């Protein structure tokens, strides 16, 4: 039974990543995108916690086009959820991952997107992309250990890199989709026209 539940969760996760990728591609602001199922590009989404050696990854990533984001890399976490559920806890973990990746691989970390089909922490929604929420995430017991090698009772405020926190905050995106919204995008026909025009102009 547990395996069946895990497999269903994995299928929902993979479906969410595909849908998020399709929607982002349809904005016409993405040059290239990939999910962690992509054999060629998955390594660009895989990282390791500084302490403990445990791996983690993002669900998808890609390259944006058009000003003011032309040439910027993005990485995204996708939650194909019908309700808030455990997103609050997972969001804190994700913020710590963003902090680590921005420090380890800044060239791949221009933007961090959290893409979901269900809002969460509604009472704190205006604060979910602030320095305070990033610091709070880093102070969590698990994140203290794997980011700073600190114990639960240790005060880590003095070792948090505030400039790095500010960089992470500037790069956060919080995107809430719906099934109807996924269809309210430019048509495949018009996208092909745009692509053809871009090819002509750049040729």
Per-residue tokens: 107: 């060239």
For 15-51, what is each residue's pLDDT tens digit?
Answer: 999 999 999 999 989 999 999 888 788 888 999 999 9
The closest alpha carbon to 176, from 120, 137, 132, belongs to 120
In this structure, what token pair is assigned to residue 172?
Answer: 């956060």
Residue 35's H or E segment, with its range, is strand 30-35
Global confidence as pTM = 0.90
Predicted confidence at residue 12, as pLDDT, reads 84
Tell me the pLDDT tens digit for each residue of 150-195. 999 999 999 999 999 999 999 999 999 998 988 887 766 666 666 6
123: Cβ–Cβ under 8 A, 6 or more apart, which residues? none
Write out pLDDT tens, residues 46-58. Answer: 999 999 999 999 9
Position 170 scores a pLDDT of 97
Cα gap 196→136, rounded to integer Å: 47
Q: Is the omega angle on the peptide bond into residue 88 within 30 degrees of 0, that is, cis?
A: no
Biggest CA-to-CA distance, the chain = 61
């Amino acid at each position: 039974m547990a395996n069946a539940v895990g497999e269903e969760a994995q299928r929902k996760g993979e479906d969410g990543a595909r849908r998020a990728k399709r929607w982002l591609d349809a904005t016409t602001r993405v040059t290239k995108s990939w999910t962690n199922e992509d054999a060629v590009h998955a390594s660009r989404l895989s990282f390791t916690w500084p302490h403990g050696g445990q791996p983690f990854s993002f669900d998808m990533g890609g390259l944006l086009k058009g000003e003011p984001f032309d040439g910027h890399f993005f990485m995204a976490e996708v939650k194909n959820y019908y309700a808030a559920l455990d997103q609050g806890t997972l969001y804190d973990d994700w913020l710590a991952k963003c902090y680590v990746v921005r420090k380890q691989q800044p060239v791949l970390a221009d933007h961090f997107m959290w893409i979901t089909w269900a809002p969460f922490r509604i009472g704190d929604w205006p604060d979910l992309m602030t320095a305070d929420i990033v610091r709070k995430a880093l102070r969590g017991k698990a994140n203290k250990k794997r980011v700073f090698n600190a114990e639960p009772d240790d005060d880590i405020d003095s070792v948090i890199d505030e400039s790095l926190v500010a960089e992470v905050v500037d790069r956060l995106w919080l995107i809430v989709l719906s099934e109807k919204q996924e269809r309210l995008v430019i048509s495949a026909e018009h996208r092909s026209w745009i692509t053809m025009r871009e090819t002509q102009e750049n040729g």
